[in-house]
Structures are given as C-alpha cells and as structure tokens.
Structure 1
Amino acid sequence: MTHPATSPRLRIKLRLEYDSPLILGPGKAELLARIARLGSISAAAREMGMSYKRAWTLVEEMNVAFAHPVIDSARGGPGGGGATVTETGGKVLTHYRALESLLLEAGANDLQALNALLRPEGADRTGGAGR
C-alpha cells in the first residue's frame, strides 16, 4: 500500500500558552497574510470565504493574546476604513512561516514516511482495527 511520491502538505497548529491559550494555525496565518496584502479585514475574509464576523473574532483573539496588537484597524466611513498588520503581526507571521519551512525541510523524511502509511484515497475507512 504505497502512495505516489507526492509532497505531503503540512498544516501546523501551535498552542501558545501564557495566561490564556492561543491556537495559531494556517487559518490565522493566512488571514494575517491577506490583511497585509489587501489592507482590509473584510476583503481578506471575503477572499478566504470567511464571514467578516469570523475574521474579526480571529483578529481579536490574536490582538488579545500577544503583548502588542497584530492588526491595527480603522472603521469605515466617508474616508473608508482599513487594516494594517503591525510590526508584531509581521513578526508572528514570519516566525510561523519559518516554523513551517523548518518542519518541511528537517522533517521531510518523516513526513514522507507518515504519508506512505496512510490509506489510499478512496479506500474504505469504516472498518479495521483501532476503532
């Protein structure tokens, strides 16, 4: 039961704890990256197929968890609103992406080995041991 030699995808979720836990994963990282590119929480959410409310909740979770906000935002209105990724937000995204790269590079053999142990796509996953 071998799989094609495809590169496994890596999606890491970090549980950062101090006073309250923060889960930092691919969704929050992608939201930060898109806000940086688009200058808008609502535009980033739209691009990700996420509600504005959900995106705002994720931004607030990160802003509260880190010592300094990761996103600065201004309300809309006649002059328009907008959002910018702060220096802290840029560092958070840089460190998260660095950890992804590190795991992909240093763990490539282990990731390939785990990938090879998976059931083939489309295989029946309803039976077998370990249920």
Structure 2
Amino acid sequence: MTQRLKLKIQLYCGDEIAMGPGKADLLSAIANHGSISAAGRAMDMSYRRAWLLVDAMNRCWHQPLVETSPGSAKGGGARVTAFGQTILAHYRALQTRLENTSDCSDYKALADALLAEPKASQKD
C-alpha cells in the first residue's frame, strides 16, 4: 500500500520557516559540499535561493547555523556551525520519530479514513 499520509515538520520563527525538510536538506548539502553555491547546484537550486534560505535560517536562531568565508582566488566557502549541526541532528531525530508513528492509532485512523482518490466534484 502506498503511503497516503505525509507528515512534515516545519518550525516557525514568526512568519518565517526557521527549519523544514528542505532547509534541513540544504544544511546537509552545505556540510557535504563546503559551499552554498555547490549545495544549491547539488539540489538543483539557484545560488540566490540557497543563500536566501541560509539567511532566513541564520536570522531565526540564537546563533548562526551556517558561517561563510569571503571568496578569493581559491573561492569562498561555507560551513555548518556546531550549533547548526546540533539543530540539524535534533530536527532529523524528530523526523525519524515522526516517520515511525505509522503504528500509532491516530495515524492508522487517519490513513483508514482517507480515500485513495478524491470523489468527483459536486460543482458542475
């Protein structure tokens, strides 16, 4: 049976999403690639979009999640801070816990009550 319930965690700071699945993936990509631009390319995302997401994350937490170094002949770079790694680890742990709720009675009740496809519209 295909999973019909997709639960995702979004943490808000005011109206801004401070952390969600995409931002967590971007943090992981920055950690792996060492730069915002390379992380963006790996995720098929523009540098501007990646930079805006990093900026939003850095503005929403007590400490920055990503630190950047200015470009030079060798190029610039970015790294996920120790604080950012901690936030990412907690977020991933919460994601894992949520993914393992499929045996929860509430999850089962919602999945059982959900149709595979929507009914035909009554507006004709």
**TM-score range, shorter-chain basis?**
0.7 to 0.9
Map of 1:1-131 to 2, 5 A cutoff?
4=1, 6=3, 9-15=6-12, 17=13, 20-23=14-17, 24-106=19-101, 108-109=103-104, 110-120=106-116, 123=117, 127=121
Q: Secondary structure at the match of 1:119?
A: coil
- Unmatched 5+ stretches in structure 2: none
Deviations 1:58-77 (A, max 9, x none): 10011111111100111322
Between the aligned partners of 1:103 and 1:65, the Cα distance in structure 2 is 23
Task: Give me the identity figure in percent.
Answer: 42
Q: CA deviation at 1:128?
A: 5.2
Between the aligned partners of 2:93 and 2:75, the Cα distance in structure 1 is 34
Q: CA deviation at 1:12?
A: 1.8
Q: Secondary structure at the match of 2:68?
A: strand
Contact 2:101 2:107 (C-alpha < 8 Å) held by counterparts: no
Q: Secondary structure at the match of 2:71?
A: coil
Between the aligned partners of 1:112 and 1:76, the Cα distance in structure 2 is 51
Deviations 1:78-104 (A, max 9, x none): 021111000111011011111111222
Quote the RMSD (CA, aligned, Å).
2.5
How many residues get paired?
121
Q: Which 10-residue stretch deviates more, 46-55 or 101-110?
A: 101-110
Q: Secondary structure at the match of 1:68?
A: coil
- Normalising by structure 2, we get a TM-score of 0.81
Letter in 2 for 1:127: S
- Normalising by structure 1, we get a TM-score of 0.77
Between the aligned partners of 2:3 and 2:56, the Cα distance in structure 1 is 35
Letter in 2 for 1:118: L
Between the aligned partners of 2:77 and 2:34, the Cα distance in structure 1 is 6
Between the aligned partners of 2:118 and 2:102, the Cα distance in structure 1 is 29
Letter in 1 for 2:121: G
- Unmatched 5+ stretches in structure 1: none
